[in-house]
Structure 1
Amino acid sequence: MNLFIGLMSGTSVDSIDAVLVDFSDTGTQLKAVHTHPWPASLRETLLTLSQETREQSTLHDIACLDIQTGELFAESALALLEKSTTLPNQIRAIGSPGQTLYHHPVGTPPYTWQIGDPNVIAQRTGITTVADFRRRDMAAGGQGAPLAPALHNALLRSSQEDRMILNLGGIANITLLPADLNSPVIGFDTGPANALLDAHIYQHQRLPLDEQGAWAATGQIQPALLNSLLSDPYFARPAPKTTGRDYFNLNWLTRYTASFAYQPEDIQATLAQLTVTSIAQAIFPYNPQRLLVCGGGVHNPLLMKGLSQQLPGCTVESTSTQGIDPDWVEAVTFAWLAKQRLEQQLGNLPSVTGARQAVVLGSVYI
C-alpha cells in the first residue's frame, strides 16, 4: 500500500475532512474518512477574524490560532487512524493545506496566509507532514489557487466529452477538462457557493448551514438585490482569479442590503440564486457536455436544480457517477499533492493559476 492522509477545512469552517487514501499502482482508493468538528468558540473566532480588516487582527491572536488549529488538524488525523485501525508508521505523509485567513493574490505584493502549524501536526502524529502548498505557486506568479484542478485532470478527464468539474464549497470553483487532451485545463473561482449562505443563516438562526437549502426555499428571490450583487466587479474579472471568505462575507453583503428592509429568508433565497447564476454565467462560454459536482453544495437541491435549469444543454450530476465521493474530493487533493511533493513531481497547473511555470508545491515537516 501507498498510504497518505489528506486534510481539508474550507472557507465555511464547518468541519475538518480527513481521508486515508491508497495511491497504489492499481489506482486511487479511498480507504477511510473522518469528519472532525470545530469547537464552536474556535470556529467563531476564525470566522470573525477572516471578516475583519487586517489592521484589526493582532499577531498574538493569529499566532495562538495557528497553534490551536494545528492541534485540531493533528486530532483529526489521529482520529482517522484510530477509526481505520491504521498505525502512524504505515502512512507516508499527511497533506495539510491549512485554514486560509487571508488570500490576496492581486495585491502589492500578493500574498496568502494559512494557519494550522504543520510542526504541531508532525510532532503530535509522528507522521511526515506536507503543508504550505499555495505560496510557491504565488512565488511563480500564480494565484495560489485553485489547486484541485490538477487532481481533476489526473482522475476525471475524458477524451469522449468536454467536462466541467464544479466544487461547491464555501467558494465555488470550476475546472474545464477538454476532450482534446492537447488543450489546456482551465479553472478558477467563480465566487461564493456556501460561504454567504452559511454565514447568513448563522447570523439569524445560529445554525452552521442551511440544510438542503430549506430556509432559502421559504424566501422569495429579490431581483433588484440579485442584480446588485452580480454587479460586483469580481464576477466580471477575467481568469485566472481566486477569492475567499475575506472578500465574500457578511460585511460585503451588508454593503448591498443596508439601505433596504429585506426579510432574512428573502436574502437567503437571493444568495442561493446568486450562487447558481454566477456559476452558470462562468460556465456558459465553455459549453461543457457534462458538469460533475462535488463539495457540500451537492446536497443542496436548490443549487443543483438551479444549475440544471440554467445549463439546459449540460448533464449536471455528482462526481459519484464517476466513482468519486463528492464530499471528499478536496481532502483527496491534498493527500495527492503530498504524494507529488515527496516524489518531487509538479503540483500546479499554470493554465489554471496563472503561474509562469509548473512547480513542486509544499514544504515538508519530518
Structure 2
Amino acid sequence: MSKLAVGLMSGTSLDGIDAALVSIDEDKKMTLIDFETLPIDHEMKAKLKDAMDIGASSNELLCSLNFELGYLFSQAVKLVCEKSHTKLSQLDFIASHGQTIFHIPDGKFKSTMQLGEPAVIAYETGVPVVSNFRSMDMAAGGQGAPLVPYFDYVNYLSDETICLLNIGGISNVTIIPKNASIDDLVAFDTGPGNMIINGLMEAFYDLPYDKDGQIAALGQVNLELLEELLSDEYIHRSPPKSTGREKYGGFFVEDLIKKSKLPKEDLIATLTKFTALAIVCNIKAFGVSKIIANGGGVYNKTLMKYISESFDGQVEIGEYPDAKEAMAFALLGYETLHKRTSNVPSATGARKHVIQGSITYPS
C-alpha cells in the first residue's frame, strides 16, 4: 500500500523551504503529486546568516530560531497540501531535513546542526515527523553527507556510468557506475554551487541571484584569478568530503571583494567559471558519460554553458530539478519508518549501513 508524505528541504542557498508532496509505493517508486517553495524573507535570512556566523551567533538565537523555523516548516507543509487540495489528515508522515546551521565533518568529534523543531511540525500538522537524518551516519564515523545518493541509486541505476549533479548553495554529485551495487557509489560535495555567485550578486547589485546567468555572460573570465581559485585544497581533496557555508559563505565572498580589483561582471563571470570547473574536474576520473543536473543552479544558463563546454559527455536537466532533494528526504523518511538503512557508507565514510532519522509523533 502506498504512503502519502511531504518531504521538506531548506538548503545552503537560504532562498526557501521546498515542500514535495509525494506518494511512495512498496517498491519505493515515487510519484510527485505537487511541489511548493515557501520563500524565506529578508528578516529570517538575516537571522540564519547570523546563526551561521561564529561572531554573530548566540545560544539565545539558536534556541529561538529552532522553534521559529519549526513553524515555518509547518507552513510549508500546509501550503503544498492546500495547493493540492490534500488534507493534513491524509498524510502518513512528514520528512524534514531542517536547516543546516553548522556542519563539522572532520575533527575529533564530527558533528552537525540542523534547526527546525520537529515537535512543532508534528503538533501543528498532527502528522508524524521524521527528522535529524545526518546524526546516525556521523555516529557511525561518517560525514553525515551526502544523503541524497540513496535516492539517486533507487531511481537512476542504469547500464552506463552517470553523474547526478545537484547545484544548490553547494554543488554535490553522486557517481553511479553502470550496473552498480549501492556500495559502489561515490558521492561528495565538489565545492561551491550558487553560494558564492549569490553572495556577489547581493553585495554588488542587492539581488538574490544572477538571473539566467545574465551578469556572468557580460563579464570576462580572469584566468589568473581562476587559476588561484582552482588551487583550493578542498577542490582537489579525495572523497569522502563535504562542505558548506562555513567554508564558502560570507567570509569567502568578503575576502574576494576586498582583494579583487576586477570589474563586478568579470568577478562574477570568473566565479561562475570556477564553480563549473570545480564540478567537472571532480568527476573526470570516474569515466562519467552523462550528467543529470538538478537544483536552482540549472537555471543559470552561463553556469550550465561552462559545465557543458568543460565536460566531454552529455549534460541534461533532471525531471524534477527543484523538487528532487525534498523528494529524496521523503524516501529516507519512508525507509526510517520501515526500520531500513538508507545511508551510503562509500559516500559518507561511515563504518556501516545505519537506520537514519528520529521520529516525532504528534500529541
The answer to whether the superposition gives a TM-score over 0.5 is yes
Matched with 1:337 is: 332
1:176 aligns with 2:191: no
Aligned-partner Cα distance in 2 for 1:71–1:346: 29
* 162-171 or 85-94, larger mean C-alpha shift: 85-94
1:63 aligns with 2:63: yes
Paired residues of 1:168 and 1:298 also in contact (CA < 8 A): yes
How far has the Cα of 1:363 moved from its partner?
Answer: 0.3
1:164 aligns with 2:163: yes
How far has the Cα of 1:223 moved from its partner?
Answer: 1.4
String of CA shifts for 1:238-292, please: whole Å, max 9, x gaps.
Answer: 1000000121013123334533322222211111011101001001111211111
Identity %: 37
1:237 aligns with 2:237: yes
Matched with 2:74 is: 74
Matched with 2:7 is: 6
Matched with 2:348 is: 353
Paired residues of 1:162 and 1:179 also in contact (CA < 8 A): yes
Aligned-partner Cα distance in 2 for 1:167–1:280: 13
The unaligned stretches of length 5 or more in structure 1 are none
How far has the Cα of 1:331 moved from its partner?
Answer: 0.4
Structure 1 SS opposite 2:359: strand
- TM-score with structure 2 setting the length: 0.95
Structure 2 SS opposite 1:33: strand
Structure 2: which amino acid aligns with 1:120?
V
Structure 1 SS opposite 2:94: strand
Structure 2 SS opposite 1:188: strand
- TM-score with structure 1 setting the length: 0.95
The residue correspondences of 1:85-164 to structure 2 (distance < 5 A) are 85-158=85-158, 160-164=159-163
Paired residues of 1:200 and 1:250 also in contact (CA < 8 A): no
The unaligned stretches of length 5 or more in structure 2 are none
How far has the Cα of 1:359 moved from its partner?
Answer: 0.3
CA RMSD of aligned residues (A): 1.4
Aligned-partner Cα distance in 1 for 2:274–2:174: 20
String of CA shifts for 1:8-57, please: whole Å, max 9, x gaps.
Answer: 1110011111011101247311011111111210112212432x22x541
Matched with 1:204 is: 204
How far has the Cα of 1:83 moved from its partner?
Answer: 1.0
Paired residues of 1:101 and 1:246 also in contact (CA < 8 A): no
Matched with 2:48 is: 46
1:364 aligns with 2:359: yes
Count of aligned positions: 358
Aligned-partner Cα distance in 2 for 1:222–1:12: 25
How far has the Cα of 1:181 moved from its partner?
Answer: 2.4
Query: Aligned pair in 2 of structure 1 residues 44, 56: CA closer, same or farther (>3 Å)?
Result: closer
Matched with 2:294 is: 294
Structure 2 SS opposite 1:247: helix
Paired residues of 1:164 and 1:175 also in contact (CA < 8 A): yes
Aligned-partner Cα distance in 2 for 1:181–1:271: 34
